[in-house]
């Protein structure tokens, strides 16, 4: 081919691209003609974009380079971020967008953001159109909306398809308003106040939308780009960078919850153990916060679509003050509930490891069983770095508790790691060493090398039967400890699949902002990753937390589970036969156990509710469904209370619903009681097999 021919081809391709771009731009500008101002990127955004892309390609664990495949992922993620419910864009819109699905990689490397901003401007125009239409419907909803029709709307947004045209979108918007009104009625909102509530809610959303600026769009789009690498990689512009610690936790004069944005909602990821929210028994991981009110009577402000830093500021407040949260509960995702929590600080002493001794009668013998609850892996780094010999840490505290328990001549030990979100890697390593002779504990793999952390102390602080109790909220450093105990077969892991947080993040300065990116991954000594899959128990309990809504695997784009090279380590005696026997005994016992049967029935009921493909928009049908659900919940609860010798309280149905007799702590006790029985069986088997640890 001659240079002249080659040049001609390039010119032809360029003209074709330019023509398509002009058509696309013309289409989007006409679609957003009702917006007074089209928002464009600032010059500094271009240089920031180039910096972010270079840092991602150079430092991220996956060593990904932006290419056509990544470009497609970015577009899909961007559309899902802007329109998760498929209620704004149409099939025609999406077809136009897909013409550029292989263009983002080239644009980003050169700092070109026009396509991203053009898509956002269309989103802005369509969002404005939707909110204004809903506001017109609100004025006459009592007269014009018919709640006796047997129509429905798709409940699971992942099952929704893009609508063919805007007229179909109007129908969807109308249905969503009807569902909102039904939810308010079912939440006992007075009919006379519903119009005012709706007008305030949608007017505020419209005002927030119209306040969107160029910096907001840049942050949203760049975090779409970082999310295409993994969900823990995030860009913080200067303002958000200053509030980074608030983004991560509300433990300081707040409610003690870790939050994360999930599309237009603020979602509870986990609760700080012993924090105000945890103690309240009112909030759970997976719940979505849609409104925040100050004090016992303050107006609840709608937070759907708000930036997480704004939601955090509303939730935080002075100690002993109250905050009210309007939530969509994880276990009842078609309902709305308002709860009240008293703000407080998480006290250090309440976060410390604690011990307990339970005496039980088993097979004509009395057993003393020790329990050590570890809420997190903590260390006073300041005192440690100063060389203070009495610095406070998880390992040092547990070591003292083990000494006290051994003096009490316990027959077995349970380490309770439920809801332990992790903490110091150093402490996870050293705590493991209290139960092993010596050897590797965890592997940390970066792009360039693998580092192995060892327990180098041959002494063992406790050598008797050991059970580690975990649940879905057991994460990070906790999973390293549980994984090592499992791999060495030093003890039995009991509970449910853990969180699966097996990645390491680091903060890198980026001009005036910061980039948090994933730089390493944890692997067990067996070579299995703790990422995504988590730690699987040897003996499994019913799942109190829904795996679909909680844990690493619930996060879009989470890095997968994989394996690496196994390290050399000496296992203890095989527990395969012991685990098989423990499972058999547990299954036999669970058939008649009141607590386990209660849990199973509640989980089954919640699953049926959440797995509904659609929601009825007939008010009478929804009222009937709610009544049936609440009656079933009360019946299951009362059946359990009677089975353990406690009479059901004489209250009205609504009082029973509002004042639950069975709290989160009661559920935890049900599973701890089972663990005590599993430990008793474990002790029997250990004695029969003459185990020596």
What are the residue numbers of the active site?
476, 487, 501
- The phi, psi pair for 506, rounded to 5°, reads -135, 150
Largest interatomic CA distance in the chain: 97
What Rg value do the Cα atoms of the chain yield, rounded?
28
Nearest by Cα to 73 from 217, 218, 219, 226: 226
Exposed e or buried b for every residue in 53-63, given b needs 16+ CB within 10 A? bebbbebbbee
Q: Are 60 and 229 in contact (CB under 8 A)?
A: yes
Exposed e or buried b for every residue in 529-546, given b needs 16+ CB within 10 A? bbbbbbbebbbebbbbbb
* SS3 at position 679: helix
Q: Across-strand partners of 517?
A: 506
CA torsion through residues 427, 428, 432, 438, sign: negative
How many Cα atoms sit within 13 Å of 28 on the Cβ side? 23
Name the token pair of 199.
Answer: 């007008």
* SS3 at position 335: coil
Distance CA 69, CA 418 (A): 39
* SS3 at position 625: helix
Distances (CA, A) of 135 to 132, 169, 201, 336, 514: 5, 15, 10, 21, 39
347: which DSSP letter?
-
Q: What angle do CA 331, 336, 341 make, to 5 degrees?
A: 85
Distance CA 396, CA 398 (A): 6
Distance CA 329, CA 347 (A): 27
Element (H, E) at 665: helix 664-688
Q: Are 227 and 233 in contact (CB under 8 A)?
A: yes
Distance CA 266, CA 306 (A): 8
Name the token pair of 153.
Answer: 């709307």
Element (H, E) at 182: helix 166-186
Pairing of strands 450-455, 466-470: unpaired
Distance CA 319, CA 422 (A): 25
Name the token pair of 59.
Answer: 């430092």
Distance CA 384, CA 389 (A): 7
Distance CA 156, CA 173 (A): 16
Q: Are 333 and 158 in contact (CB under 8 A)?
A: no
Neighbours of 262 (CB within 10 A): 18
């Amino acid at each position: 081919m001659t240079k002249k021919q080659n040049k001609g081809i390039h010119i032809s391709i360029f003209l074709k691209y330019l023509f398509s771009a002009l058509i696309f731009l013309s289409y989007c500008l006409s679609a957003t003609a009702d917006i007074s101002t089209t928002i464009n990127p600032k010059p500094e955004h271009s240089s920031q974009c180039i910096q972010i892309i270079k840092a991602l390609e150079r430092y991220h664990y996956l060593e990904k380079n932006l290419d056509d495949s990544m470009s497609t992922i970015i577009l899909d993620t961007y559309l899902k971020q802007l329109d998760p419910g498929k209620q704004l864009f149409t099939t025609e819109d999406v077809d136009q967008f897909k013409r550029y699905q292989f263009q983002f990689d080239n644009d980003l490397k050169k700092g070109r953001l026009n396509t991203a901003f053009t898509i956002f401007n269309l989103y802005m125009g369509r969002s404005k159109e939707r909110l204004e239409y809903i506001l017109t419907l609100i004025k006459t909803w009592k007269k014009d909306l018919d709640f006796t029709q047997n129509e429905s709307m798709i409940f699971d947004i992942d099952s929704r398809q893009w609508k063919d045209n805007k007229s179909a979108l109007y129908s969807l918007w109308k249905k969503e308003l009807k569902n909102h009104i039904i939810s308010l009625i079912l939440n006992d909102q007075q009919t006379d106040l519903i119009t005012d509530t709706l007008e305030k809610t949608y007017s505020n959303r419209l005002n927030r939308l119209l306040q969107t600026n160029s910096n907001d769009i840049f942050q949203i789009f760049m975090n779409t780009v970082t999310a295409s690498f993994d969900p823990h990689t995030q860009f913080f512009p200067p303002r958000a960078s200053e509030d980074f610690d608030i983004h991560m936790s509300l433990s300081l004069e707040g409610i003690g919850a870790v939050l994360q944005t999930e599309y237009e909602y603020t979602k509870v990821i986990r609760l700080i153990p012993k924090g105000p929210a945890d103690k309240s028994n009112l909030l759970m991981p997976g719940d979505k916060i849609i409104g925040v009110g100050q004090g016992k009577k303050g107006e609840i402000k709608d937070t759907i679509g708000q930036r997480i830093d704004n939601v955090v500021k509303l939730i935080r407040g002075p100690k002993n003050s109250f905050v009210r949260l309007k939530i969509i509960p994880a276990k009842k995702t078609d309902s709305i509930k308002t709860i009240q929590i008293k703000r407080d600080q998480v006290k250090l002493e309440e976060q410390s490891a604690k011990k307990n001794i339970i005496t039980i009668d088993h097979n004509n013998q009395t057993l003393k069983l020790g329990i050590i609850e570890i809420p997190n892996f903590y260390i006073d780094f300041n005192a440690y770095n100063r060389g203070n010999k009495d610095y406070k840490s998880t390992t040092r505290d547990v070591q003292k508790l083990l000494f006290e328990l051994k003096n009490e001549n316990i027959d077995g030990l349970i380490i309770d790691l439920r809801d332990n979100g992790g903490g110091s890697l150093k402490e996870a390593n050293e705590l493991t060493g209290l139960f092993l002779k010596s050897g590797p504990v965890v592997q940390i793999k970066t792009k360039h090398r693998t580092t192995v952390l060892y327990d180098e102390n041959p002494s063992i602080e406790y050598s008797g039967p050991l059970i580690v109790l975990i649940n879905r909220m057991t994460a990070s450093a906790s999973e390293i400890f549980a994984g090592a105990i499992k791999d060495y077969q030093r003890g039995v892991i009991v509970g449910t699949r853990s969180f699966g947080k097996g990645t390491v993040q680091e903060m890198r300065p980026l001009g005036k902002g910061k980039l948090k990116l994933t730089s390493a991954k944890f692997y067990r000594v067996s070579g299995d990753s703790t990422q995504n899959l988590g730690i699987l128990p040897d003996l499994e309990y019913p799942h109190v937390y829904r795996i679909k809504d909680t844990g690493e695997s619930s996060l879009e784009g989470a890095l997968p589970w994989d394996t690496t090279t196994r390290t050399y380590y000496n296992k203890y005696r095989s527990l395969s036969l012991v685990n098989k026997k423990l499972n058999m005994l547990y299954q036999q016992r669970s058939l008649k156990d009141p607590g386990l049967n209660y849990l199973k029935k509640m989980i089954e009921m919640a699953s049926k509710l959440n797995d509904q493909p659609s929601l009825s928009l007939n008010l009478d049908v929804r009222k009937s469904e709610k009544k049936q659900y609440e009656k079933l919940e009360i019946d299951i609860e009362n059946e359990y209370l009677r089975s353990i010798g406690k009479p059901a309280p004489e209250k009205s149905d609504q009082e029973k619903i509002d004042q639950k007799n069975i709290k989160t702590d009661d559920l935890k006790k049900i599973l701890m009681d089972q663990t005590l029985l599993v430990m008793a069986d474990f002790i029997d088997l250990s004695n029969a097999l003459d185990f020596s640890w």
